[in-house]
Amino acid sequence: KILLKNVISLKYSTQTISKKDIISVSKVLKSELLTQGPITIKFENKIKHLVGSKYALAVNSGSSALLLACKVLSLKSGDLFWTVPNSFVATANCGILCGLKIGFVDIDTDTWNISIEKLENKLKIAKKKGKLPKLIIVVHLGGLPVNPLKLKKLSRKYKFKIIEDASHSFGGKYYSRKVGCSKWSDITVFSFHPVKIITTGEGGCCTTNQKKYHEKLITLRN
């Protein structure tokens, strides 16, 4: 009982819903289109302008966004992809659901993000064995982005594609560019779950600068 008195209760997340938010949602509920209507398009346009990407596509969750991102990269069943072990299960599941084989790269204990040093060492070994990954999914954990320049340099050398799982990092920056600009990756994924930076109740988004990816994303979503 004495120990329990000293325990501080910490909430996992507390969202802020304003009267303006409630009015906006009510307008949509009274409209003809509840999904993929003009408000969705307006939302997508705001996202792409905020992060600096050419395209943005809203979906029903961050998990769906990850899955669609994997599907549009033209990877083949049995191809290898690597990610980190300290993320929500969707980061790994998206590749597995596409028939890819998974491998993990350890993290940097200072940032809790993927260790670029360990990634590079693992790539060197994989090249000798002829088992290089076709895709790396990095996670910007707790809002802190992975170093994009070093990652892009490795992707050019070892020929892998990059998905940024930026579910935690909406509004983050690196080198004066917003997370989601997709300057150094193929596709960036956001989550709008209530525990994330902004929320739509449930929701997610893919941003990219590649027209071909955006068109495929639209087809798969529809």
pLDDT tens digits along 72-125: 999 999 999 999 999 999 999 999 999 999 999 999 999 999 999 999 999 999
For the entire predicted model, the pTM comes to 0.92
Strand 161-165 relative to strand 187-191: parallel, antiparallel, unpaired?
Answer: parallel
* Contact call for residues 204 and 197 (beta carbons, < 8 A): no
How many angstroms separate the CA atoms of 161 and 156, rounded?
9
pLDDT of the residue at 3: 58
Q: Which residues contact 69 (CB under 8 A, 6 or more apart)?
A: 94, 163, 186, 187, 189, 206, 217
Indicate the average pLDDT of the chain.
94
Which helix (H) or strand (E) segment is 96 a member of? helix 90-97
State the Cα torsion 27-31-36-41 to the nearest 10°: -50
* DSSP state, residue 106: P
What local confidence, expressed as pLDDT, does residue 11 receive? Answer: 76
Give 26-65 pLDDT, tens digit per residue: 999 999 988 888 999 999 999 999 999 999 999 999 999 9
